[in-house]
Amino acid sequence: MSLPDLPVCASLPQLGEALSVASCCVLSAPPGAGKTTVVPLFLLQQAWRGDGRIILLEPRRLAARAAAHRMASLLGETVGETVGYRMRLDSRISTRTRIEVVTEGVFARMILDDPALSGIAAVVFDEFHERSLDADFGLALALDAQQGLREDLRLLVMSATLDVGRVAALLGNAPVIESQGRAFPVEISHRERASSERIEDAVTRAIIEACRDESGSILAFLPGQAEITRTVERLQGRFDSDTMITPLYGNLSQKEQDAAIRPAPAGKRKIVLATSIAETSITIDGVRIVIDSGLQRLPAFEASTGITRLETVRVSRASADQRAGRAGRTEPGKAIRLWHAGQTAALPAFTPPQILASDLSSLALDMAHWGVKDPAQLAFLDQPPATTWQEAQALLLALGALDPTGALTARGKQIRALALPPRLAAMAVTAAAEGHAEDACLLAVLLTEQGLGGTSIDLEDRLRRFRTERGERAEASRGLARRMARDLKPGQRAPMPLQPGILLMWAFPDRIALQRGGRGRFVMANGRGAEIPETERLAGASMLVIADLTGRAGGQRVLAAAEISRTDVEAYRPDAIRREDQVSFERQSRQIRARRVTRLGAILFDETPLPRPRGEAAARALADGVRQLGLASLPFSQEASQLRDRIGFLFRTLGDPWPDMADEALLARLDDWFVPYQHETRGLDDVSPSSLSEGLMSLVPHAASRDLGRLAPTHFEAPTGQRHPIRYDGEEPVLAIRVQELFGLKTHPAIGGGRLPLLLELVSPGQRPIQTTRDLPGFWAGSWKDVRADMRGRYPRHPWPEDPANAMPTTRAKPRGT
């Protein structure tokens, strides 16, 4: 077999030599080098292969079909002979097949079902730079299988734009082969889009100008199907019959996708409007102009809500280079970027790996099947985020797929056996037990294959259309649903199908929603809000189950839902309904209230007032009120406030065992010092100051409490016998006292066994500040002279001795006439 003369051929001898001695290898080859079709055919000729099959992983179905057809044509065969492909809705393989092109998700299921990869000699990961979750997981599993079961298995990772150093290190410092490309020169120009201009308007303008000024077909990249549809509408009627306008995105049928990538007929030019689906792995012959919007749509998972939304973001530099390279595949071309040239440097280097921003529930389920509970046990290029991983395990536990130890349950094995996301698989398993396996599987396939049954928000309408929809993709999808239903081995089929909303309650109990706040506004059981346009029929429904939505918390828009009633919930999900007595704090009245409620998560169905409560629950509700309003809401008396200050001072100066009295610390420990002393209290205004003092003292260990009076006394006894309060509300303890009461004192007043000096605020007979000091003897010997001279004139009836250290202390003025 002779291989076509493509740039990658120059690297094949080096690749063959590397794989003859090493089990892993990395091949870096630029777009257009021919790696996707030439390398698998080259590996077919290697002696180490024996009769083993070669698996080529592709990120998308379109790329998988195109690669298989291209390789088969090079062999002079049809697909399904030496070269075949396998994907979710379509397979063409036979006993003769030795090269299988599979999508990444299919390979993950292949190795999970057969860890030894029996009969497989090599696995080739193409376009690995896209870093899909399935590709990362598939490589991690293949490395694990290679180390434990298949030392002879070859693994080859290929990419055009890749951090080859990290990947080679992951593969045990595997050899790296670099292939040079032979792309034609591409002239790159920039046409900045105004922030106010819609992307479809900018792309339309650029296409019209390019058609006027340049020859050849055009490939324009837009972020999604909606923008492509609007661009097609704007281009209609702008060109004559010699120009063809073809969209290219994931929801199109196989026939429509294949038509988009076929070369334009002789004498015609083609305008292909595509998403990132056309970025790698496929070549559209005749394209010499690329128009890049610079945008792409990526999924972003919010672990806190369990919702994956699509975000429109800037492309990476690697993606921008890939897109531009499409213009130079067959002849010199031109790439027009709709952003300022200076913005390119600010683009991220690579597209973020999906594993960092995806729902990991399917991954966690598959890993449990593999026998791994901790992702760190597998060789991932990037480890999954801990929070998202924990949320995934919590969901699987709630679905009954995992037991509390993280092991797969019998129900979990049924869920994993279905090629569906865990929520939908759990729905199908539950429905099968009720005789509704096929209804549930049809609905699940409808939700996972976008575009089936139309685009209505109403899933009842879409499911009705899907059941009778014509076309190869719809028929294949219904066939897949029937096979899934049979694999569930259901019992007797129920006579009447269940409505979609009832089925969805088994998948999304947290997204059961009640209309609240007007037509089209709903609150879900998880506490989040969601909206439907008022013109939609479902906007008037009293209750829904929401299967898909987008947008951020607080402004989420429903994409797919089905109507239900409260009766449906009570009949089919009684376990989700809670009837309980609740005690809560009412902020406006500052009182505790009790009510008997019937609710589903955050959805409140009914409530009945109950008598005002007492006891532990009431005290805890009161503590919630304190958390809301702060400690200032409590009636601390002067005595309680001083106690708090004294203990807080000892904590700051001595540390343990004295407790922290700061607001944050006390709020964090309300259950320790507040709740136990408020069992008979019904509102914040009923809290007694003495209970607060008692609670604060409860935080002090008994042994330490005996030292409180000695280390931080409430008062200082002056030489006159008078007691004066000590303030502890600042950084150090303060004693405010008339200077005459300290006459005769030769040492500075101190607390804490004489170790902690008081800050003296010396005041005049008129209670005006005279001086502050931390050294009373020094004051007597120093600045007292100046103070005395000033004070004698102001307060002549009070004593101002020259030697205060040896004078008699007094609280009185001098008798008249003296």
How much is the average pLDDT of 630-637? Answer: 94
Distances (CA, A) of 366 to 32, 138, 147, 417, 483: 35, 11, 19, 10, 21
Q: Are 60 and 106 members of one domain?
A: yes
Q: Are 21 and 164 members of one domain?
A: yes
d(CA 490, CA 177): 52
| pLDDT over 80 at 666, yes or no | yes
Q: What is the pLDDT of residue 451?
A: 82
* Lowest mean pLDDT, pick from 98-107, 483-492, 535-544, 678-687: 483-492
Q: Are 124 and 199 members of one domain?
A: no
How much is the average pLDDT of 544-556? Answer: 81
Residue pair 362/354 in contact by the 8 Å Cβ criterion: no
Q: What is the pLDDT of residue 534?
A: 92
Q: What percent of the chain is modeled with pLDDT above 70?
A: 97
Q: What is the pLDDT of residue 351?
A: 84
Strand 333-337 and strand 287-292: the pairing is parallel
d(CA 662, CA 651): 10
d(CA 611, CA 591): 12
812 domain residue, yes or no: no
Distances (CA, A) of 76 to 258, 412, 509, 775: 20, 45, 54, 104
Q: Are 778 and 802 members of one domain?
A: yes
Q: What is the pLDDT of residue 592?
A: 93
Q: What is the pLDDT of residue 397?
A: 94
Cβ-Cβ contacts under 8 Å for 752 (sequence gap 6 or more): 653, 710, 711, 712
Q: Are 208 and 299 members of one domain?
A: yes
Q: Are 705 and 727 members of one domain?
A: no
Q: Are 139 and 28 members of one domain?
A: yes
DSSP 3-state percent helix, strand, coil across the chain (nearest 5): 40, 20, 40
The encoded tokens of residue 579 equal 């009837």
In 3-state terms, what secondary structure has residue 514? Answer: strand
pTM over 0.85: no
814 domain residue, yes or no: no
**DSSP type of residue 561:** E
| pLDDT over 80 at 35, yes or no | yes
Q: Are 641 and 679 members of one domain?
A: yes
Report residue 795's pLDDT band, with 50, 70 and 90 as the boundaries: confident
User: What is the count of structural domains for the chain?
Assistant: 4
The encoded tokens of residue 494 equal 């129920």
278 domain residue, yes or no: yes
Q: What is the pLDDT of residue 305?
A: 65
Residue showing tokens 């007292």: 784
Residue pair 413/489 in contact by the 8 Å Cβ criterion: no
| pLDDT over 60 at 818, yes or no | no
Q: Are 275 and 213 members of one domain?
A: yes
Half-sphere exposure (Cβ direction) of 274: Cα atoms closer than 13 Å: 28
The encoded tokens of residue 448 equal 């996972």
Q: What is the pLDDT of residue 640?
A: 93
SS (H, E, C) 406-461: CCECHHHHHHHHCCCCHHHHHHHHHHHHCCCHHHHHHHHHHHHCCCCCCCCCEHHH
Most confident of 5-9, 651-655, 662-666: 662-666
Q: What is the pLDDT of residue 554?
A: 61
Q: Are 171 and 190 members of one domain?
A: no
Cβ-Cβ contacts under 8 Å for 343 (sequence gap 6 or more): none
Residue pair 334/292 in contact by the 8 Å Cβ criterion: no
| pLDDT over 80 at 551, yes or no | no
**DSSP type of residue 683:** B
Residue showing tokens 């389920």: 365
Of 129, 155, 178, the residue at which a domain comes to its end is 178
| pLDDT over 70 at 547, yes or no | yes
Q: Is the peptide bond before 713 cis (omega within 30 degrees of 0)?
A: no
d(CA 463, CA 703): 73
623 domain residue, yes or no: yes
Q: Are 334 and 275 members of one domain?
A: yes
How much is the average pLDDT of 81-86? Answer: 95
Of 355, 371, 400, the residue at which a domain comes to its end is 355
The boundaries of the domain holding residue 593 are: 580-709
Neighbouring CB atoms inside 10 A of 607's CB total 12
The enclosing H or E element of 318 equals helix 317-325
How much is the average pLDDT of 92-111? Answer: 93
| pLDDT over 60 at 817, yes or no | no
Q: How confident is the model over 353-396, as pLDDT tens digits?
A: 999 988 999 999 999 999 998 999 999 999 999 989 999 999 99
Cβ-Cβ contacts under 8 Å for 505 (sequence gap 6 or more): 512, 545, 564, 568, 569, 572, 573, 576
317 domain residue, yes or no: yes
621 domain residue, yes or no: yes
Residue pair 308/359 in contact by the 8 Å Cβ criterion: yes
Is residue 195 packed enough to be buried (19+ CB in 10 Å), middle (13-18) or exposed (0-12)?
A: exposed
573 domain residue, yes or no: no
Report residue 276's pLDDT band, with 50, 70 and 90 as the boundaries: confident
Q: What is the pLDDT of residue 60?
A: 86
End-to-end CA distance of the chain: 131
- Using only C-alpha atoms, the chain has a radius of gyration, in whole angstroms, of 39
CATH number of residue 230's parent domain: 3.40.50.300
151 domain residue, yes or no: yes
Nearest to 701 by CA among 757, 750, 651, 737: 651
Of 675, 709, 743, the residue at which a domain comes to its end is 709
- DSSP secondary structure of 595-645: EEEEEETTEEEEEEEEPPP-SHHHHHHHHHHHHHH-GGGS---HHHHHHHH
Half-sphere exposure (Cβ direction) of 773: Cα atoms closer than 13 Å: 20
26 phi and psi, to 5 degrees?
Answer: -120, 130
Q: How confident is the model over 134-183, as pLDDT tens digits?
A: 999 999 999 999 998 999 999 999 987 667 888 999 999 999 998 876 66
How much is the average pLDDT of 584-599? Answer: 92
| pLDDT over 90 at 34, yes or no | no
Q: Are 122 and 204 members of one domain?
A: no
